[in-house]
Structure 1
Amino acid sequence: MESVTVHPTMPNTDDKLHIAMFPWLAFGHMIPYLELAKLIAGKGHKISFISTPRNIDRLPSLPPNLSTRITFVKLPLPENPNLPEGAEATSDLPEDEVAHLKTAFDSLDEPITQFLKSSNPDWLLFDFAPYWLPEIARNLGIPTAFFSIFIASSFTYLGTTSPEAPPDDRKLPEDYTVSPKWVPFPSTVALRLFEVLRLYKRITGDETNVSDLYRFMGSARGCDVIAMRSCEEFEPEWLSLVQVIHGKSVLPIGLLSTTANDDDDKDTWPSIKEWLDRQRKNTVVYVAFGTEAMPCQEEVTEIALGLEKSGLPFFWVLKTKQGTDAVKLPEGFEERNEGRGVVCRGWAPQLKILAHDSVGVFLSHSGWSSVVEALTFGRPLVLLPMSNDQGLNARLFGEKKVGYELPRDDGDGSFTSEAVAESLRMVIEKEEGRAYRDKVKELKHLVGDRKRQNLYVDKFLDYLTTHQRRRSI
C-alpha cells in the first residue's frame, strides 16, 4: 500500500495541505473525485486517493505534472463469498448485487483507520457510503468534508439532519413522489412512482444492509462541512436550503468538467470523427447512458425503433449485459440504418463526440457528469433517467429547460418508440424545442468558463486552509 506520511506533531506551516479522498466504489463517483484531486494537486497540495487496487488500476492516467502530488492508496477489499472475483466497483455487478459490495466496503473501516493514523492528513473528503467514517476521523483529530457528487436539489430531497428542520416521516412509496415538506418553494424534484419502486429496497434497507438514506444522513450529520459538485449560478436556492436543513456550512466546489486524455482515444477517434464530419451541423443524435446504466430489452427495442422513426443520423454507444441476459437490437435494424446510424459497442470518446459540431442532441440518462459535459459544449438533452439520482436530476433539468424528459408511464416507466422519435425531433429542430436549445447555449458560457469554475476550488481550499491553520495553533 502506498501512502504519504505526515508526522502527527508537525503542524502544516506552508499552507499546502495533505488531503485524503475516499469515494464510493462507482466510477460515477471516483471520476469526479479524481477531477477535484487534479485541480487541488495543480495548486500544489498533496492528495492521497484511496480506493481498491483494481479500481485504481482502471482510473484514467494522471498528467505527468501531477503524478508526484497524487498518491494512490490501494486498500484491498476483504473477501466476500457473495462477490464474484474481481468485483470492486458497481459496474462489475448487477444492480441487485451492489448491496454485497456495500457490505465489503464497510469492512474497510479498519484498514482506512490504520492509514489515517499513519498519514495524519489535514483533511479527509469522503462519500455518502462510509457513514461510519466521520467518527473514526474525529477520534483521530482529522476534520472531514462530505463531498457529494450529487447536485444540491437531489441532496435536499434525501432528508434532513438539523433539529430545526421538519423530520422525515415518509413511509409509503407514494410519500416519495411529491416534493418534501422541508422544500419551501414550488418544485417538481421528486421521484416518480416507478422510480421509487425500483429503488425502494435501497431507500428502506433490509436485515443485511442499512439503507442508502441512512448512509447519506449519517455522513451529512457526522461531517464538519458539506462540499457539493454545484455552483451558485446554477441552483442557488437549493444550495442555501441544504445549509438550512443540515445546519452546517455548504461549500460548492464548481461543476468539475471532465478533462480529456488524448492517449485514451487515439485508436478510436479518427474513424468516429470521419463519420461525424460527413453529417450536417446540429443533426446527429448522440445516445449514451454512462458507465453503468444499461437499458433492458424492451427499452433497447423502443430506443432503436425511435431512432429509426426520427429519420435523424445517430451515434449510439450501446453497453449491454453479457451472456444469456444480453439484449438484442431489432432484427435488421443495423442493416436498415447503415450509413445513417452507428452502433458502438465499445468505449467511445464522449467529450470529443459532444464537441463535434454535427451533434444536435444528446439522449442521456441524466447523470450529472454527462450533463455537465453536454452543457460544456452547448448540446441540448433528451433525458431518459435509469436509476439512482437520475430521476431527481431530470426533474430539475426539466424545470431549468436544460433537457426535455422523455414521456413515460408513471406506473412502470415504459415508453414508446414514437415518444423517442418525437422528443428527439422536437428538441433538435422544432420551434417548441427552441427553449432547450437556447438555454444550453446560455449555460455553455457558465460551465465552459474554467476560470470561473476554478474560483470555486480556490474558495474551497481557502476554507480548508483557514480551518487547518486554526487546528494547528
Structure 2
Amino acid sequence: MGDDQLHVVMFPFFAFGHVSPFIQLSNKLSSHGVRISFFTIPGFIPRIENLLIPSPTTQIIPLQLSPSLGLPPDIAGTFDLPPSEAIKLITAIDLTQPQVKSLLSDLKPDFVLFDFAQHWLPSLASELGIKAMLFIVFSAIACAYVVAPSRLAGVDGNPTVDDLRKPPQGFPMRFGYEHIAADHSNLIKTFQARTNLFHYESFNESPNNFFRVQEAFNSSTAIVIKTCFEMEGLYLDFLKSQIHKPFILTGPLVPAEPPSSVVLNDEDWTKWLAQFSAKSVVFCSFGSETFLTKEQISELALGLELTGIPFLFVLNFPAKVNAEAELKHALPVGFLERTKERGRVHIGWVPQQLILGHDSVGCYLCHAGFSSLIEGLVNDCQLVLLPIKSDQFFNSMLMCENGILKAGIEVNRRDQDGYFGKEDIFTAVKTIMVEVEKEPGKSIRLNQKKWHKFLREKDVQEKFISNMVAEMKKILVHNPLVD
C-alpha cells in the first residue's frame, strides 16, 4: 500500500436501504485505490460479503449489539424486525460508542463516513484525529424538504401535518403544479406529510432523527451526498446555502455491470421472461422493506390485470408475518388463474438488477427509492412510481412529469389517505407503455432516454469518484473554505 493511500471507515445505519449505498460507494472508492473498513453487525455480514467487490484492502468489521435491548444476536438489520420495533436499532447504535472508539483508535483511518443515526460520531472521531463526514444516502430534494435547518423556522415545537405540507423557507419551487403560490402553499399531500412526522418523534428519550441530522450537519468535516448537480442542482444549492460545510458529491452511484459470468441462471426465470417480446414486461417491485397493505396489493393486482400487459409482481412482507397466508388473502379472487398466461407473482428476493436488464423488461413500477430509480434508468426501463413513505415522495416529485427530470409518471392518489385504485395503476402504465406517441407519454420517454444516456456514460460517472478522492486528499491537508 502506498503512503498516500486513503483509508475510509464506512458506518451505515443497519437497514439495507442505507447499507446498500455505503456498499456501492465502497466498491467505487476501492477501485480508485482507497482502503475500506466496513462496520456492520454479524447478521448483515453474509449479505455485505455478497455485494462488496473482493479486495485485499477491503475488510468487514463486526459490531456487537448490546443484549440489553433484547434484539436477536444474529439480527440482519431492520429487515428482521417488525416496523414498530425497527427504531430500537437507533438506540442499539448509540450503545456501540465504546466499541467504535476502540476500533477507530486501532484502525487509525483518515476518514469515517457515517449515517444519520450516529450524530455523536464526529466528536468521538475528532478526539482521535479522524475526519468524520455525514454520508447522505437520500436524494438532495428529500433532504432539502424534510431536514433542512430552515424546516423548523417559525414552528413552535414539533411540526404538524399542516406544517409539513408546506416546504421549508427558501425551498426551490420549480414545479409544474399551478396551485403552488409564492406564499408557500401546500406542496405535498396530507398523507405524504403524515408519513414524515416520524422524523420528529423520539423513542425512549433518544434524540429524534431531525435532531440527529442537525447535529451531524453541524459537526461533520464535510457532507457527502449521493447525487450530482446535473440531476439535483437546485436542491444542492439550497442545501449549501443552509449548511455551511463543504459538499462532496458521489454522483448517483450507478451500479456496476454484473460480471459476464453472472447471468439470470435460474432456468425458470429465464424461460418465463424469454417468452415475451422486447421491452414488453412490467416489473413491479417495492424493495425488501417497503410493505403494502392488503387493499394496495389487491388494487395493484387488478390494475396490472387491466393493462393486458405481461407483468412480474414481487412482494415482501414484514418480519414475523406469514407471507403466503397474507398474499392469499390480499390477491383478488381468481386473479392468478385469469393472468396465468402473462403474469407471475413472487414473494421474497429476486435478482433485481438482472431482471431489470433482461431484454423483455420495459417498465419498472416501484416505490421510488432513489437507488431503484437509478437502476431503472440505467437499464432503460420506463418508470411508473408509487411512493409509499418518507423520501420516496420527493424522489418521485423530482423524477416525474411535473418535476425537474420529467422521466417517469406517478400513480395518482387521494390526498387524505393516499388511496389509489386499479384505474390509477392502469392509467399510469398505459400512458408510457401503450400511448407512446401521445402526450405526456411521448415527452416522458424522450426524457427517460436522456437520463439513461447520462447514467451510462462511464467516464462521467467515474469522474465523480475521482473528484471525491481528490477532495478527501485536500481535506487531509487543510479543511477547504466553504463556497
What TM-score results when the alignment is normalised by the length of structure 1? 0.90
**Residue 413 (str. 1) matches residue 418 (str. 2):** yes
| Separation of aligned partners in 2, 1:202 and 1:79 | 26
- Which of 348, 351, 354 lines up with 2:350 in the alignment? 348
Listed one character per residue, the Cα deviations across residues 28-62 of structure 1 (whole Å, up to 9, x for unaligned) are 11111111111111122211111111112222526
Q: Which amino acid aligns with 2:393?
A: G
**Cα distance change of structure 1 residues 200 and 284 upon mapping to structure 2, 3 Å threshold:** same
The answer to whether the 8 Å contact 2:227/2:250 transfers is yes
The answer to whether the 8 Å contact 2:201/2:208 transfers is yes
| Separation of aligned partners in 2, 1:265 and 1:114 | 39
**Residue 466 (str. 1) matches residue 438 (str. 2):** no
Partner of 1:323: 322
The answer to whether the 8 Å contact 1:82/1:100 transfers is no
| Separation of aligned partners in 2, 1:19 and 1:288 | 33
**Residue 73 (str. 1) matches residue 72 (str. 2):** no
Question: Shift in Å at residue 288 of structure 1?
Answer: 0.6
1:339-378 correspondence runs (5 A): 339-378=341-380
Partner of 2:146: 158
The answer to whether the 8 Å contact 2:24/2:255 transfers is yes
- Which of 382, 397, 400 lines up with 2:399 in the alignment? 397
Q: Which amino acid aligns with 1:291?
A: S
The answer to whether the 8 Å contact 2:23/2:51 transfers is no
Q: Which amino acid aligns with 1:253?
A: T
Listed one character per residue, the Cα deviations across residues 145-179 of structure 1 (whole Å, up to 9, x for unaligned) are 111111111111123449xx983637221111122
Partner of 2:95: 107
Partner of 2:41: 52
**Cα distance change of structure 1 residues 338 and 62 upon mapping to structure 2, 3 Å threshold:** closer
**Residue 40 (str. 1) matches residue 29 (str. 2):** yes
**Residue 193 (str. 1) matches residue 185 (str. 2):** no
Listed one character per residue, the Cα deviations across residues 196-225 of structure 1 (whole Å, up to 9, x for unaligned) are 323423333254432221122111111011
| Separation of aligned partners in 2, 1:84 and 1:342 | 34
Partner of 2:434: 429
Stretch of structure 1 that moved more, 328-337 or 436-445: 328-337
| Separation of aligned partners in 2, 1:280 and 1:207 | 54
| Separation of aligned partners in 1, 2:69 and 2:260 | 37
Question: Shift in Å at residue 15 of structure 1?
Answer: 2.1
Partner of 1:137: 125
Structure 1 alignment gaps of length 5 or more: 1-11
| Separation of aligned partners in 2, 1:75 and 1:160 | 31
Partner of 1:6: none
| Separation of aligned partners in 2, 1:414 and 1:166 | 29
Partner of 2:153: 167
Aligned length: 457
| Separation of aligned partners in 2, 1:141 and 1:47 | 18
| Separation of aligned partners in 2, 1:263 and 1:73 | 29
The answer to whether the 8 Å contact 1:225/1:248 transfers is yes
Question: Shift in Å at residue 26 of structure 1?
Answer: 0.9
Question: Shift in Å at residue 82 of structure 1?
Answer: 4.7
Question: Shift in Å at residue 83 of structure 1?
Answer: 3.1
Partner of 1:4: none
Partner of 1:177: 165
| Separation of aligned partners in 1, 2:127 and 2:100 | 13
Stretch of structure 1 that moved more, 276-285 or 306-315: 276-285
| Separation of aligned partners in 1, 2:154 and 2:466 | 35
1:138-287 correspondence runs (5 A): 138-161=126-149, 167=153, 169=155, 171-187=159-175, 191-259=188-256, 261=258, 269-287=266-284
**Cα distance change of structure 1 residues 130 and 269 upon mapping to structure 2, 3 Å threshold:** same
Q: What is the SS of the residue equivalent to 2:162?
A: helix
| Separation of aligned partners in 1, 2:390 and 2:72 | 23
Partner of 1:7: none
1:292-303 correspondence runs (5 A): 292-303=289-300
Partner of 2:381: 379
**Cα distance change of structure 1 residues 103 and 403 upon mapping to structure 2, 3 Å threshold:** same
Q: Which amino acid aligns with 1:138?
A: S
What TM-score results when the alignment is normalised by the length of structure 2? 0.89
Q: Which amino acid aligns with 2:7?
A: H
- Which of 92, 99, 110 lines up with 1:122 in the alignment? 110
Question: Shift in Å at residue 184 of structure 1?
Answer: 4.4
The answer to whether the 8 Å contact 1:284/1:315 transfers is yes
**Cα distance change of structure 1 residues 62 and 28 upon mapping to structure 2, 3 Å threshold:** closer
| Separation of aligned partners in 1, 2:2 and 2:267 | 49
**Residue 452 (str. 1) matches residue 460 (str. 2):** yes
Q: Which amino acid aligns with 2:120?
A: W
The answer to whether the 8 Å contact 2:264/2:354 transfers is no
The answer to whether the 8 Å contact 1:161/1:221 transfers is no
Identity %: 30
Structure 2 alignment gaps of length 5 or more: 178-185
Question: Shift in Å at residue 388 of structure 1?
Answer: 2.7
**Cα distance change of structure 1 residues 20 and 264 upon mapping to structure 2, 3 Å threshold:** farther
Question: Shift in Å at residue 63 of structure 1?
Answer: 6.7
Q: What is the SS of the residue equivalent to 1:61?
A: helix
The answer to whether the 8 Å contact 2:200/2:209 transfers is yes
Question: Shift in Å at residue 81 of structure 1?
Answer: 3.8
The answer to whether the 8 Å contact 1:20/1:50 transfers is yes
The answer to whether the 8 Å contact 1:160/1:168 transfers is no
Partner of 2:449: 441
The answer to whether the 8 Å contact 2:144/2:235 transfers is yes
Q: What is the SS of the residue equivalent to 1:145?
A: strand
Stretch of structure 1 that moved more, 389-398 or 258-267: 258-267
